Chains A and B, each alone.
Chain A
Amino acid sequence: MDRIEIDRRSVYVLFFLKYYKAFIFVVATVLFGFALTVDVTAELGVEGYKALCVFFYCLILWVTNALPLAITGLLAIVLIPTLEVVSHKMSYSFFGNEAIFFILGAFIIAAANKKSGLSERISLELLYRSGGNKRRIILYLLLFAAFMSFLMPEHAVAAILFPVITDIVVMLKLKKGISNFGKALYLSLAWGCITGGVATYLGGARNPLAVGILQEFTGVTIGFFEWIRAVTPAVLVMLFFAYIILIRFFKIKNEVIPSMTEIVKLKKIERGRFSFLEAKVLIVTTLTVIAWIAFKDIGIANIALFSAIMMFLLNVIKWEDAAKTIDWGIIIMYGGAISLGASLIETKAVFFLADKVMATFHPTAFVMIVLFIVLSIWLTEGISNSAVVVFLLPVALSISKTYGIDPKLATFCVAVPSGLVYMLPTGSPPNAICYSSGFYSIKESFQAGLIMNLISITVLILTAKYYWPWIGLKFE
């Protein structure tokens, strides 16, 4: 007979638990409908008011996941012209933002990397070189996951390295929920991906989304190398602290596991020789990164798409492989978010919102920066990191204009902390993947992550105060 369980709770409770998102959707829709009937202040204008209504409506749906993220994105695109916030033509044209095509290219490059097995080979090599020393394994894994997340989406890195770690854990016979080394291994993978994911455009799609919003708002953009130069020092400091926390929190001793080298060696043999396919991917990826740094005038999306096309021309992947990896939901969601942000700017609703915030609090520019960082890092634990960018960045950019804060600095203050989800497994895909190992509890992840969150806030505030002004991003 099937392994089934009968839930004995009241049917009303079960109904609510199953369909609470539908309730949220209905309540949000009723509130949205009601808000649209309210008289508008002349200061804001009818279009601006409607844009704000759509913005908060979609924000509630994104934050609560009442609808799938992509569907809310589509809803935003549909509502904006339907409510005559901007014309149909303009609303749909926002979807043609460079960031959207960059994300598409990045997905295809990641698919090629995954298919070739190059990333798995590099990770095995790294573990082999650790010599079986526990602390060195943690350090190497942390650094390697971070480095890989510089070049491909963090969740793809977690997905590639997770089976490698699982094999090692199985071979070492580490026990779930008991082995501190096992816990540290999985958390180092999650934290490495998360921390590395904020360092470049490629680590998380929220970074190009932030640049897309910046570009729509101010017309300026951030180059690939410029982003790395601004964020990498903070990332390195955070990785250092992540390592210290992991070995202290889980009491990892400086000792060698004798069988480790043998295990990895066996896996290396299974992997076989360096293939021509891997060579092709390595060359294209390297050239792509060089192009992003050296030929930024061509445009990062152009380079990413060209690189993606090369992967097809060199017969690295087929369209079927790419189609499996491309997350169209993410692309549509970002398209909707960019359209929404642009309509807020077009109707000047975001300036109105920012003026109201400032008129209420009167903070200094530095306090505003601290506020952006702290808000982003805490909000992102509970809601999608892209939703944080969509919600906070337009307001931050508007406020930064009044305060004379460099808009690029404001972008970093929102985009970087919004990717740093250290505490909860639900906060980001790498966390969820690693948590699924069953090695550590939410309590352990929460406790270690809380320390890491506080350190990240401090590191980012110090970076904003001292380092970013030093490289020309002023806030006063």
Chain B
Amino acid sequence: MLNGIKLDNNKVVIDLTTLHNTAVSEIIQELKTIIYNNNVDVFYVVSNRYENELHEFYFFKKFVEQIKGKFNIFLMLKTVCFNSTKFFDSIFALGVDALDLTIDATGTDSATIDYVTRLWPSGTIFTDIIGECSDSDIKETISQFTAKKVIPRIMKENACERTESSFCVRDFIIKSLKQNSVSLKWVMNFELCGIIQQKAGQKGRSKRKIAGRVAFELASLRRKLMVKEVQSSFDSASL
């Protein structure tokens, strides 16, 4: 397996920061092999090097275009919360289905968060919570993010290792998301947020697959309707 690509349950983690010197065709070939041999639902792409670096962005763009064109698979991007609506417009148009944002703790990203949560379908914006140790701290952080329609991801490898109380945290997140009318269909049907995913295990796998596929196709249609390239707008006027 290429350095920078890792299989994690039904998810393939692709670190473009490591792979940026590798040819896109080589990465695609590797992914083809993985998909052929495993049951993969999600591509989790990590890339933080493209803002103001056109070359990096074009590499990323080419990669996403190829990946969406060849696999038609759910794609989640881990990225810094850039203060650029144009950047998020572009990656939304490219076909990124969900975001895992690295959010600045000082709260300067509010406007961007508000922007992306309105642009992507409800329940597809995530952020990782790390370093919160006490129950009250973690609950407060969860409440803050869910109020902004962002789903907190508390993974098993969380610094606090709160595995024993994870059920309690999971229930709190779900309750909080429901209170803020954030859709749970994505986290229930895809391998996006480990802690919540455990709850979804109660549902039948085939049922989840169908529900996930329907949600995925509807989200693709939504994107197709919302995105207008300048050239296509001109063409649509029959001019």
A binds B: yes
Chain A residues engaging chain B, CB cutoff 8 angstroms: 1-8, 11, 14-15, 18, 426, 432, 435-436
Q: Is the CB–CB distance between B228 and A5 below 8 Å? A: yes
Q: Is the CB–CB distance between B239 and A436 below 8 Å? A: yes
For chain B, what secondary structure do more than half of its interface residues adopt (helix, strand, loop), or is it mixed?
Answer: helix
Q: Does residue B23 face the partner (Cβ distance < 8 Å to A)? A: no
What 1/0 flags go to B89-119 for Cβ under 8 Å of A?
1101100000000000000000000000001
Given contacts A1-B86, A432-B238, A435-B239, contact A6 B229 (CB under 8 A): no
Residues of chain A lying within 8 A (CB to CB) of residue B1: none
Q: Does residue B227 face the partner (Cβ distance < 8 Å to A)? A: yes
Q: Is the CB–CB distance between B238 and A426 below 8 Å? A: yes
- Bound-complex Cα distance A2 to B225 (A): 17
- Bound-complex Cα distance A6 to B226 (A): 5
A138 to chain B, nearest CB (A): 24
A selection of 25 A-B contacts at a CB cut-off of 8 Å is: A1-B57, A1-B87, A2-B93, A3-B229, A3-B230, A4-B93, A4-B229, A5-B228, A5-B233, A6-B89, A6-B93, A6-B226, A6-B227, A7-B225, A7-B227, A7-B228, A8-B226, A11-B222, A11-B226, A14-B226, A15-B221, A15-B225, A426-B238, A432-B239, A436-B239
Residues of chain B lying within 8 A (CB to CB) of residue A426: 238
Residues of chain A lying within 8 A (CB to CB) of residue B222: 11
A320 to chain B, nearest CB (A): 25
Q: Is the CB–CB distance between B230 and A18 below 8 Å? A: no
- Bound-complex Cα distance A2 to B57 (A): 11
- Most chain A C-beta atoms within 10 Å of own C-beta, residue among B222, B231, B239: B239
Q: Is the CB–CB distance between B239 and A2 below 8 Å? A: no
Residues of chain A lying within 8 A (CB to CB) of residue B92: 6
Q: Is the CB–CB distance between A18 and B227 below 8 Å? A: no
Closest to A17 in B: B225
- Bound-complex Cα distance A392 to B50 (A): 62
Residues of chain B lying within 8 A (CB to CB) of residue A436: 239
Given contacts A14-B225, A432-B239, contact A5 B57 (CB under 8 A): no
For chain A, what secondary structure do more than half of its interface residues adopt (helix, strand, loop), or is it mixed?
Answer: mixed
B185 to chain A, nearest CB (A): 16
We find that the number of chain B residues with CB closer than 8 angstroms to chain A is 20
- Bound-complex Cα distance A6 to B86 (A): 10
B57 to chain A, nearest CB (A): 7
- Bound-complex Cα distance A432 to B237 (A): 10
Q: Which of B90, B119, B221, B238 contacts A2 (CB 8 A)?
A: B90
- Bound-complex Cα distance A426 to B89 (A): 32
B106 to chain A, nearest CB (A): 27
- Most chain A C-beta atoms within 10 Å of own C-beta, residue among B87, B222, B225, B227: B225
Residues of chain A lying within 8 A (CB to CB) of residue B87: 1
4 nearest A-B pairs in the assembled complex, by CB-CB distance = A14-B225, A3-B230, A436-B239, A5-B228
Q: Which of A4, A15, A18, A435 contacts B90 (CB 8 A)?
A: A4
Within 8 A of A (CB), among B112-154: 119
What 1/0 flags go to B201-238 for Cβ under 8 Å of A?
00000000000000000000110011111110100001
- Bound-complex Cα distance A4 to B92 (A): 10
Residues of chain A lying within 8 A (CB to CB) of residue B229: 2-5
- Bound-complex Cα distance A476 to B43 (A): 79
- Bound-complex Cα distance A5 to B233 (A): 9
Residues of chain A lying within 8 A (CB to CB) of residue B221: 15
Q: Which of A3, A6, A15, A435 contacts B119 (CB 8 A)?
A: A6
Closest to A435 in B: B239
Residues of chain A lying within 8 A (CB to CB) of residue B233: 5
Residues of chain B lying within 8 A (CB to CB) of residue A4: 89-90, 93, 227-230
- Bound-complex Cα distance A433 to B230 (A): 20
Residues of chain A lying within 8 A (CB to CB) of residue B227: 4-7
- Most chain B C-beta atoms within 10 Å of own C-beta, residue among A8, A11, A426, A432: A11
A190 to chain B, nearest CB (A): 14
A370 to chain B, nearest CB (A): 33
Residues of chain A lying within 8 A (CB to CB) of residue B231: 3
Closest to B89 in A: A6
Residues of chain B lying within 8 A (CB to CB) of residue A14: 225-226
Closest to A14 in B: B225
- Bound-complex Cα distance A8 to B231 (A): 18
Given contacts A1-B86, A11-B222, contact A6 B228 (CB under 8 A): yes
- Bound-complex Cα distance A3 to B89 (A): 10
Residues of chain B lying within 8 A (CB to CB) of residue A18: 225
5 new A-B contacts, CB < 8 A, other than A432-B239, A436-B239, are A2-B93, A3-B231, A4-B89, A5-B233, A7-B226
What 1/0 flags go to B55-90 for Cβ under 8 Å of A?
001000000000000000000000000000011011
- Bound-complex Cα distance A6 to B225 (A): 9
Residues of chain B lying within 8 A (CB to CB) of residue A2: 90, 93, 229
A230 to chain B, nearest CB (A): 33
Q: Is the CB–CB distance between B90 and A11 below 8 Å? A: no
- Bound-complex Cα distance A8 to B92 (A): 13
B23 to chain A, nearest CB (A): 22
- Bound-complex Cα distance A6 to B115 (A): 12
Closest to B238 in A: A432
Closest to A12 in B: B225
- Bound-complex Cα distance A3 to B93 (A): 10
Residues of chain B lying within 8 A (CB to CB) of residue A6: 89, 92-93, 119, 226-228
B60 to chain A, nearest CB (A): 11
- Bound-complex Cα distance A325 to B214 (A): 42
Residues of chain A lying within 8 A (CB to CB) of residue B230: 3-5
- Bound-complex Cα distance A14 to B222 (A): 9
Closest to B228 in A: A5
Residues of chain A lying within 8 A (CB to CB) of residue B238: 426, 432
Residues of chain B lying within 8 A (CB to CB) of residue A15: 221, 225
